[in-house]
Structure 1
């Protein structure tokens, strides 16, 4: 999966740099296949 953009506090950031960290309530725009999407969802669910 590749993060191609994210939205935080109403601001859309395209192509975030390598040091960017996901924060609570970020909305992600991802590029990848369904298999990797399912794996990512399982990881995210661990933190709910």
Structure 2
């Protein structure tokens, strides 16, 4: 039972991380001076 719970938890964490990466790939920084560089794998998640 513990391994099944761990799998569900890790699956949920990975979905949250993927959604967060998609949001950051499609948005820009609101501050003038700094925009963090994204890895190529995140750049591939862009919608445009």
Give TM-score scaled by structure 1 length.
0.31
Q: Which protein shows a greater Rg?
A: 2
Q: Of the two structures, which has the highest relative contact order with CA contacts closer than 8 Å and spacing of 6 or more? A: 1
Q: Please identify which structure carries the higher strand content.
A: 1
Q: Please identify which structure carries the higher helix content.
A: 2
